[in-house]
Homo-oligomer: A and B are copies of this chain.
Amino acid sequence: MTNPSSNARTKVYAEGPHGLRVPFTEIELDPSPGTGEANPPFRIYDTSGPGSTPEEGLAPLRHAWIKDREDVETYTGRGRQLTDDGRSAVRRGESAAEWRGVRREPLRAKAGHRVTQMHYARLGMVTPEMEFIAVRERCDVELVRSEVAAGRAIIPANINHPETEPMIIGKAFLVKVNANIGNSAVTSSIAEEVDKMSWATKWGADTVMDLSTGDDIHTTREWIVRNSPVPIGTVPIYQALEKVDGNADQLTWETYRDTVIEQCEQGVDYMTVHAGVLLRYVPLTANRITGIVSRGGSIMAGWCLAHHEESFLYTHFDELCEIFAQYDVAFSLGDGLRPGCTADANDEAQLSELRTLGELTSRAWEHDVQVMVEGPGHVPLNLVEENVRLEQEWCHGAPFYTLGPLATDIAPGYDHITSAIGAATIAMHGTAMLCYVTPKEHLGLPDRDDVKTGVITYKLAAHSADIAKGHPGARDWDDTLSKARFEFRWNDQFNLSLDPDTARSMHDETLPADAAKTAHFCSMCGPKFCSMRISQDVRDRFGSTPADVQEGMEQMSKTFVELGSSVYVDASPSD
């Protein structure tokens, strides 16, 4: 009657139109004890991909779809230059761990073409990517197409990252979670970062951002992209800054543009661009407690002040759009002036930038380039909703993508939690994707355990929002687990959990015996006091099948209503 629990979760593929195979995690369930009622297997959204050998990378699932559209061409790309990997690679004459897996010639749009999902959607085309997503989200494909066409949702899908399983970011769909990884000048190796990416997708990360700022940036990214079943985001200014030895003053549009093309050719699916940090907004941060806390934001603020010029990201924004349209790279319009503490939330600096991001959203859409807009950061709970409202209004409904926000600043070491509180709240109000925060936020770079904790924490925040939004079918997962809990189907409860391993091991700390997995009690109350058991006994008084129980109890309830508030005398023949 009990499953060998570790086998109860399997990856299955749902059949979509045109032979599409869409992944789900299927959880086999035990029958209900007593009644023997069968519990059908339960399927959940699966982000983990088909699995890869890191040295080889993933198969290019979307390659044929892209080719079939006949609007792309291969070309001799810019190619990797040793300086792309930083000074130490130049010194060594090679990067630390050269990518030796498959190398495809880069694709770009044929002249005069735009190859973005938004472009297709606006033309009324339904792409395989959209069909895949409709199966994955269990919705009508027309919802997918129309939301993308309207700019209310994006499908990050660089034509040079054919390895991805298509996914969508928009408030009409399941709330998504991004996990940040990446090395810094101080820590981390390439293998560790690839492992973190796979680990993050195993636990449910819908996209991954590679925020590397240390050595071997290009090569680290190559390994990550080639192995990633989920869209990869980056912040190109980090690498551009590395190319000018960290001197923000020496950044140029040309260096930046070259870096963007480098990353477009590698297959980065979305890029954070802090084009809303305008020169005139910088002084608005003067009275803040924590000034500018976005790295990209402060780099651009420094550049603007040093040159007494408007940001080149802003002045060259249309060129950027033209490039993105050739690869279907989506903008993640960065909030470089986001608040770094609750005191600075929703201030003039933040909101001024947001207005500019709205203007840039419209400009990108003129190029059929997909856009999401980044949001804070640190926001007291009473100011959270306003962030979504203004973003939706000023940015014309473009998907909101927020970092938390943290609801308080006083708990370093627990900022996955302080931010999950804000994240669930902001997602309930309409944020489409949440950027995770790990326990190491403000203190160090996340390790493997932190990545897992961050992803699980954000999955539960995202799911809490899906439930609160009344997203179709979202609560089924909760109801299925709760039924298993009530029926003491312990293995089912574990297998239905976001993190079965942790749930099982915590239970086993006090009651390790296998028999305890079917026991009608647990270690909290012990066998005699168990409320679930007593509650089941109460049910049992009225019959032996679920229908009988329900009828008996309902009859009793009805009698009560007829008698008003007087004390009921049970008419049941037994005892």
Nearest B residue to A245 via CB reads B528
A546–chain B nearest beta-carbon distance, Å: 10
Which of A11-19, A57-65, A497-505 faces chain B? A497-505
Whether B298 lies near A538 (C-beta < 8 A) is: yes
**Would you call the interface of chain A mostly helix, strand, loop, or mixed?**
helix
Query: 8 Å CB contacts to B: which residues of A522-563?
Result: 522-532, 534-539, 541-542, 549-550, 552-554, 556-557, 560, 563
Whether B528 lies near A185 (C-beta < 8 A) is: yes
Whether B531 lies near A444 (C-beta < 8 A) is: no
Query: 8 Å CB contacts to B: which residues of A385-438?
Result: 407-414, 416-418, 420-421, 424-425, 428
Could you list some 13 contacts between A and B, CB below 8 A? A186-B510, A283-B557, A289-B479, A293-B531, A295-B529, A299-B531, A299-B534, A340-B482, A341-B478, A382-B468, A409-B478, A410-B496, A445-B524
**Which chain B positions have C-beta within 8 A of A342?**
467, 475, 478, 482
A57–chain B nearest beta-carbon distance, Å: 28
A2–chain B nearest beta-carbon distance, Å: 17
Which of A46-54, A66-74, A454-462 faces chain B? A454-462
Whether B524 lies near A463 (C-beta < 8 A) is: no
Whether B291 lies near A532 (C-beta < 8 A) is: yes
Contact with B along A301-333 (1 / 0, CB 8 A): 110011011100000000000000000000000
Query: 8 Å CB contacts to B: which residues of A491-523?
Result: 493-494, 496-499, 502-503, 506-507, 509-511, 522-523
Whether B560 lies near A526 (C-beta < 8 A) is: no
Q: Interface size of A by Cβ–Cβ distance < 8 Å?
A: 133
A467 CB contact (under 8 Å) in B381, B460, B549:
B381
Does A486 have its Cβ within 8 Å of any Cβ on chain B? yes
A461 to B419 Cα, complex, angstroms: 10
**Which chain B positions have C-beta within 8 A of A442?**
485, 493, 522, 524
Does A39 have its Cβ within 8 Å of any Cβ on chain B? no
Report if A457-B414 is in contact (Cβ < 8 Å); known contacts: A293-B532, A302-B534, A479-B289: yes
Does A284 have its Cβ within 8 Å of any Cβ on chain B? yes
Knowing that A186-B526, A381-B425 are A-B contacts, what are 6 other residue pairs whose CB atoms are under 8 Å apart, sorted by A's residue number?
A285-B538, A305-B538, A410-B481, A421-B460, A439-B506, A442-B524
A370–chain B nearest beta-carbon distance, Å: 27
**Which chain B positions have C-beta within 8 A of A421?**
420-421, 424-425, 460-461, 464
Which of A99-107, A224-232, A566-574 faces chain B? A566-574
A9 to B376 Cα, complex, angstroms: 32
Nearest B residue to A241 via CB reads B529
Report if A538-B301 is in contact (Cβ < 8 Å); known contacts: A428-B381, A557-B284: yes
Whether A524 lies near B467 (C-beta < 8 A) is: no
Whether A285 lies near B535 (C-beta < 8 A) is: yes
A486 CB contact (under 8 Å) in B309, B340, B553:
B340
A111 to B565 Cα, complex, angstroms: 36
A468 CB contact (under 8 Å) in B407, B420, B506:
B407
Whether A280 lies near B481 (C-beta < 8 A) is: no
A211 to B425 Cα, complex, angstroms: 32
A309–chain B nearest beta-carbon distance, Å: 7
A414 CB contact (under 8 Å) in B287, B440, B499, B529:
B499
Whether B409 lies near A526 (C-beta < 8 A) is: no
A445–chain B nearest beta-carbon distance, Å: 6
Report if A381-B465 is in contact (Cβ < 8 Å); known contacts: A289-B483, A290-B485, A569-B308: yes
A506 CB contact (under 8 Å) in B286, B443, B538:
B443
Whether B380 lies near A467 (C-beta < 8 A) is: yes
Does A279 have its Cβ within 8 Å of any Cβ on chain B? yes
A510 CB contact (under 8 Å) in B444, B456, B475, B536:
B444
A293 to B497 Cα, complex, angstroms: 19
A210–chain B nearest beta-carbon distance, Å: 14
**Across the A-B interface, the 4 shortest Cβ-Cβ residue pairs:** A286-B553, A185-B526, A341-B482, A246-B528
A480 to B264 Cα, complex, angstroms: 43
A32–chain B nearest beta-carbon distance, Å: 12
**Which chain B positions have C-beta within 8 A of A535?**
285, 290-293, 298, 301
Does A477 have its Cβ within 8 Å of any Cβ on chain B? yes
A475 CB contact (under 8 Å) in B301, B343, B461:
B343
**Which chain B positions have C-beta within 8 A of A569?**
308
Report if A381-B478 is in contact (Cβ < 8 Å); known contacts: A485-B442, A535-B298, A557-B286: no
Whether B411 lies near A556 (C-beta < 8 A) is: no
